[in-house]
Amino acid sequence: MNTHAPKMRPIIRQLDEAAANRIAAGEVVERPASAVKELVENALDAGASRIEVAIAKGGKALIRVSDDGCGMTAEDLPLALARHATSKIDGSDLLDIRSFGFRGEALPSLGAVGRLSITSRAAGFDGAQIAVAGGRIGPVKPAAGNRGTVVELRDLFFATPARLKFLRSDRAETQAVAEVIRRLAMAEPYVGFTLSDEDEGRVLFRADAEQGELFGALQTRLARVMGRDFIDNALAVDATRDGITLTGFAALPTYSRGAAVAQHLYVNGRPVRDKLLTGALRAGYMDVLASGRHPAAVLFLTCDPHQVDVNVHPAKAEVRFREPDIARGLVVSALRHALAGAGHRASSTVAMAALGAARPEPASEQPRRYQASYAPARPSAPAIAASLAFQAPGFAEAPTARVEPQPEALPEPTQAPLGAARAQLHENWIVAQTADGIVIVDQHAAHERLVYERLKAQLDATGIASQALLIPEIVELSEADAHRILAIAGELAALGLVIEPFGGGAVAVREVPALIQRLNAAALIRDILDDLADQGASDRLRARVDAVLSSMACHGSVRSGRRMSADEMNALLREMERVPKSGQCNHGRPTWIELKLADIERLFGR
């Protein structure tokens, strides 16, 4: 029995304007931060170069947004408060959207649940003001003011007090408003933003308009918003594919975060939270981050408005691409290319953390803690025989005997980014001298990454071998899931997993990757289907293959506790300089840190 069935025939009624606006407000205005977002986006659409936002009690008592945009006339103000009235589009092409706003719902929705006043003046016209409270619109009145618009919203949700119970503390709402301003400020470096708290009488955020070319202005703005550390440890991203352009900055893997709080994605300048793009961001960092760590990035996708639908969510926070595979592939490939181009680079914050951990210790402990195996003051360069210990195939331990090749001239520390090896501490840490400091290398982690990258290159060159099953494994699925997994059968076959239709909703697993032992094919296929449903793509099988290679690299690399000769240590340093992504191990940890002489001297008070 249908529990929603009415006891008598319901009567269809036309909702009045006030009720319709309050319902629309429930979709568009979730909290004060939502109102700030709508109002600031209106200011940006008006061409403002300066936007000032003031709030009180987290935005519950007051939100005031002032801009120096084009402004409105007295005739425009009543229309601005009418539902579905907008200057952004003409309604002829709902895909050709080049502005933040286009629905014409924000101002009437805010006026339905709060006390709203708009004061505006357009160039060549007198200023005017209009007010609305709980959906009741007042008359237009003359008002003084500069060109631009001031929107003041007081007592948010006074007309729908039940909504107030779902709001968080004033502090939490203030933080949410600040995050909205920061996200918009990152997308508009040529616009100045100010956020102030009138309760405390202080400025919470300020970013003056930047100057110069776009990439330089964006870099300066991100340094203000994200912090100097982010820019110092970020890689520039600039790629184009099939009419879609990706620009921005992505941080080094060693500059990762414990949560996805430093990921900012934009589509045609609009901040979005899109599963497809966040999944692509994770895939770009797939084999360089430890489990539980999240990359930091600010990325901008730009494309023809007809290639993306922004009209799929009232708050316009989600988008839908016409060709999602192209957008996802661009993000993944551009990130992997940028990370590979970083070479052996590691984040500067690692060295800062090391310096912060440095503490003076009792003299009685120093002899025990600082025993070292020193290399010659001027070690010879790695010869072929020495480097074979790192390049020979297989996974046996490298020989422990010292190799004494014919001496060659070693480059001065100034000629090599990672310097010249000078010592080995505790048979695990290589100390190298650079032109202006020292480098400390984790020999096992560094060589593990080198072996891993070599194995991946070999695998990409020869392909992933598959092993036929004596008895095919039959996986029962729904017809929709079977169709979805069979649509990517070619991609799975390239990774060694061969599947075929088996009638109805079943698929037959004929072959599995030879690298992966004891593969639960049914569980893997269902996990891949979950990824496809959630993100539209799946890298799960490739991740399983990479995990096997990572394990093989771990067992085939130089172990901690092994004493290395000077030639071997320098061979490792030179190979690190050549191999991409050698700045972090397979688990996302740094393989080396650099300490500048100036920092070391400060530790000793010099």
Helices and strands (DSSP H and E) totals, the chain: 19, 24
For residue 542, give the nearest of 480, 501, 492, 593 by alpha carbon: 492
Q: What is the pLDDT of residues 330-357, one digit of tens each?
A: 999 999 999 988 887 777 776 667 666 6
CA torsion, ordered 389, 391, 392, 398, to nearest 10 deg: 30
Residue ranges covered by each domain of the chain = 17-207, 227-341, 348-359+370-455+561-603, 465-553
> Is 599 a residue whose pLDDT tops 90?
no
| Nearest CA-CA partner of 196 in 67, 62, 52, 57 | 52
Q: Is residue 443 within 8 Å of 560, Cβ to Cβ? A: yes
* The residue count for the chain: 606
Please provide the CATH number assigned to the domain covering 227-341: 3.30.230.10
- Architecture in CATH of 17-207: 2-Layer Sandwich (3.30)
Range name among 75-84, 129-138, 507-516 with the lowest pLDDT average: 75-84
- What is the pLDDT averaged over residues 202-223? 93
Helix, strand, coil % in the chain, rounded to nearest 5 = 40, 20, 40
Residue 370 has pLDDT above 70, yes or no: no
For 261-307, write each residue's pLDDT tens digit. Answer: 899 999 999 899 888 899 999 999 988 887 788 999 999 999 998 89
- At residue 477, does pLDDT exceed 90? yes
- Amino acid residing at 454: R
Residues 379, 183: Cα–Cα separation, whole Å: 52
For residue 473, pLDDT beyond 60? yes
Greater pLDDT, 557 or 64: 64
Q: What CATH class has 465-553? A: alpha beta
Report the alpha-carbon angle 76-77-83, nearest 5. 95
Fold of 348-359+370-455+561-603: formyl-coa transferase, domain 3 (3.30.1540)
Per-residue pLDDT of 376-424, as tens digits, reads: 434 343 433 344 344 444 434 443 333 334 334 445 555 788 999 999 9
The answer to whether 136 and 160 have CB atoms below 8 angstroms apart is no
pTM listed for this prediction: 0.75
CA distance 440 to 443: 9
Q: pLDDT tens across 435-455, in order?
A: 888 999 999 999 998 988 888
Q: How high is the mean pLDDT of the chain?
A: 82
**Under 8 Å between Cβ of 571 and 385:** no
CA distance 214 to 191: 12
Instruction: Give the CB-side neighbour count of residue 401, counting CA atoms within 13 A.
Output: 4
